[in-house]
Structure 1
Amino acid sequence: MSNKALVPEAKNGLSRFKNEVAQEIGVPFTDYNGDLSSRQCGSVGGEMVKRMVQEYESKIK
């Protein structure tokens, strides 16, 4: 599978969203996140997916 982004313009938006979510749930994201646990990083990703699904569901109802 290619490592090329399907929509390159979305990269900055997703990065801002990730940092916003991390800040809201108290995970200290920086440019280097090697000192964070898998649980911390996973909680950010999980919360992002949860919010994206909620947004999508609210638009289809």
Structure 2
Amino acid sequence: MANDRNSNQLVVQQARAALEQLKFEVAQELGIQIPQDGYYGNVVTRDTGRIGGNITRRLVEIAEHQLAGTSNVRNFR
């Protein structure tokens, strides 16, 4: 596993499309251009961190609402 470039594995494989959509929405809101070819080598680390941090914040918010039994969750905007 040490040779894997990305060892993050989705528990629910069907969530991949929703997470990709969320990534693009968050990047757009932050004014960050996501490379269409998938190569992030030219993207500033600070920007990728901002995208990841905002995604995490939203996922935690969604989980909190689900645990509380409320449906007051925004639809990924």
The residue number in structure 1 matching 2:13 is: 8
Query: In the alignment, is residue 20 of structure 1 matched against residue 25 of structure 2?
Result: yes
Identity across aligned pairs (percent)? Answer: 33
Query: In the alignment, is residue 39 of structure 1 matched against residue 15 of structure 2?
Result: no
Quote the RMSD (CA, aligned, Å): 2.1
- TM-score where L is the length of structure 2: 0.65
Compare relative contact order (CA 8 Å, sep 6+) and give the higher one, 1 or 2: 1
Which blocks of at least 5 consecutive residues in structure 2 are unaligned?
A: 70-77
Aligned length: 61
Give the secondary structure class of the aligned counterpart of 2:13.
coil
Give the secondary structure class of the aligned counterpart of 1:9.
helix
Flag as ranges the 4+ runs of structure 1 deviating above 6 A: none
State the alpha-carbon separation in 1 of the partners of residues 47 and 30 from structure 2. Answer: 10
The residue number in structure 1 matching 2:75 is: none
